[in-house]
Amino acid sequence: MKRTGAKNIARGISALFVGIAVSASVVLPARADDSLTQHVDSSEQVVREEATIERGHVDLGPKIVDSKPEILARDDSGETPIWRPLDTLVFRVSDSGQLQVPSDPSYAFLHAHEGESYWVIPQTQNPKVVWLGWNTQDPELIKVMGSGATMTLGNLQGPGQAWLFLQDGAFGAPTVLYDSSTSSQSDIWVEANTHVHANWAFSAPGAYALSVRWCFGDKETPQCVADTLRFVVGDETKVEEARALAPSALAASSKEGTHTAKPQAPREQGGNSEYLIYGAICLALGVIAFIIVAHRTKKSQKQIEEAREDVSRDFGAESDV
């Protein structure tokens, strides 16, 4: 009976550790991605000159400039990171970014025919195309934004459709954040001090303009700023075509937009969910320690009682003599 109880406790402890390991592997893999680790400095300059970015790392995000928020792109494709206004920028997705759409049913939202290829800015960096993500890491922004911000995408203009979706690991199903074929507008919640990358897909070559808005701060009176992302997709598309596009702007207030709840993207840092996980692990380890100590204490107490009984019996036997 004693051995059976000990085995059951051991099995319970092993199962608990397995459960913790499985939970951690599902929630925390994004933190292991060293490519997302970066430091944003308040001294980084804003450069207001026209540019076309074809390769390298760029993050979309709000930045406080002269006490006012702007949507800028943090261009990390050169030796020194700089911030660029969106109205000066065009992102090129060259033919090197063409990828065949997977036949897996979970990608049916892309509406592709078998063997069809789309132009993709991937979640994991491809050195042949621009690597576009977003961040909320501007030091001045962090002081005033609260727990996070809402990035809204909508009002696509172009010859095809566009999507933004996340891939959780190599085998995880895609999570769609924006789909121009089904919704004119999508809200994406971004926690403060985070750095995120996802997949941007375009169904056809040509020039595209995509409206974007960031809102943060007090829910009743948020600070909002809107602008436009411009893309040229395919090697033959001219940059001037994208600069000539002027899509309708998003509503100035987040209250006037359509809200679609979206899951939080994989991130470099920030968020309370990780602390909850760590707390759960610590609690589980504490329970394990308590079980072990209780089992040992119970065993020790039983051994003491048995020893006392032996002494009593021996003492009684000696007295009878």
27-70 pLDDT tens trace:
223 333 455 779 999 899 999 999 999 999 999 999 999 999 99
Tell which wins on pLDDT, 134 or 289.
134
Q: Find, among 215, 218, 245, the residue nearest to 231 by Cα.
A: 245
The rounded distance, in Å, linking the Cα atoms of 286 and 120 is: 47
Cβ–Cβ < 8 Å for 91, 75:
no
The rounded distance, in Å, linking the Cα atoms of 154 and 106 is: 23
211-230 pLDDT tens trace:
999 999 988 889 999 999 99
- Within 10 A of 296 (CB to CB), how many other CB atoms are there? 10
- Counting residues of the chain whose pLDDT is more than 70, the rounded percentage is 67
